[in-house]
Structure 1
Amino acid sequence: MQLFVQSLLSRRTLCVHFDESFPQAVDVQATIAEREGVPAHWLQLLRHGRRLEPGERLCPGDWLRCVSTLPGGKGGFGSMLRAIGAQIEKTTNREACRDLSGRRLRDINHETRLKRWVARQAEAQRERRRPLEAPRHTLDDPEFQRQRDLLPDRVQEAVSHGLTVGSKRPKTGGGPPKKRRAPLWLGAPEMPSSEDSGEEEEEEKESGGEGESREEGEGTGKRTDESDGPAGEAGGSDQPRKSPSPP
């Protein structure tokens, strides 16, 4: 019968022949120990990951694996490890770990610290500029606020009263319009307005027209006197003179 056994030292697969049809595991173990030069009680045979018992029969064409046995120690190592683990300080440095997206916690923490630093720098810059800004004056006077709220109503009432009084005032007769008084200028020479210049031109035209009419009247009077003088003289010369009546 032929079996395939993985060697313990070389890790190669060995083909082992037996005269028996179904050899026992202890016979195969002795044959492998003789070939490898290792004591038989140091070896163990595994088939499909399961340990074979010494009296278990094997089938032709089985694949076996030869492994060495490890000397076992005394128990209690787990309790000792737990006791030592309680004394060991647990680390809190998790920056080498990664989050679910694959980023390292070190990079995330660094980005967070950088954002906080930028925010603090902006606040410090505003604090440095605050003394340079102009002071803001605030007025907190309840009486002033009350008067300010009542001011629109008072203005509306005053305008309504003024319109009512103006409509009730009787109209005056048509007379010469009063000359508008020029405003008083402080610190600057008085400049004539367009209305004043227009009124002055009208007054000059009226005064000029009256003077011309007067001159024309005087001229016509003189001409009539001159014409009457010679004519009277001529008429007196033509008419016979009356003799005085006797007493």
Structure 2
Amino acid sequence: MTQAIISLYSGKTPLCMSINANTTAQQLKQQIYETTSIPVEEQVLRISSGHALADQDLNTGDEFISIKLAGRILGGKGGFGSMLRAQGGRMNAQKTTNFEACRDLQGRRIRTVNDAKKLQEELDAIPEREAEKREKLKKKIEEALKEREPKKYLFDDNKFLEDKEDVVESVKSAVGDALKRQKLTHSPVKKAATASTSVSLFDDDITSDEDEDEEEEGEEEDVEEKDEEQEKVDVKGKGKKRSRK
């Protein structure tokens, strides 16, 4: 008895079947059909070397035999080879212009050399960019400092202007009427007040004049008294001098 280990497709569990020395591949396919319900005509048995077994070609001389079960696939209409040939011709017709992967005589990649050149150009262009930035900033500041002409606005709302004039006139007339009424109602009181104030002012002037006269007279009397005392002192001094002589 020989043990046949059959590997199924689609991740199914392998089968282990016992076959005799006289068992053919067709009989083995029939057993597989009874176990897995895979039609016999769609089964393809291959050994570990990849060789497909014919219906009568089954070597059972070994104790174990490993068989792989595969399915039949319907073929296409062809033309794949001609399509590849046509595509290859188109690819050959396109000439490449990118040689950055190549090397120069010093062994450097052309891509590396080009990158170094670009970097150097960028470094050389930094002062120019800075100068351009400064110029732009300077122009911006000058434009901001320029005196701009004031904008002229045209107000053409005639209705608003008419309403404004009417309001101003009404306010003026109301204020004038109020002042007239106030003058008419308070005129006697004002006259009496003005008379009393004039009298009081006149009285104040008279009293102030009298006070000033009295003060002047008092000052004159004080001066006269001082003069008399001084004369007496002088007379006494002269008498003393004569007695001493």
| TM bucket normalised to smaller | 0.3 to 0.5
Task: Point out the structure with the larger helix share.
Answer: 2
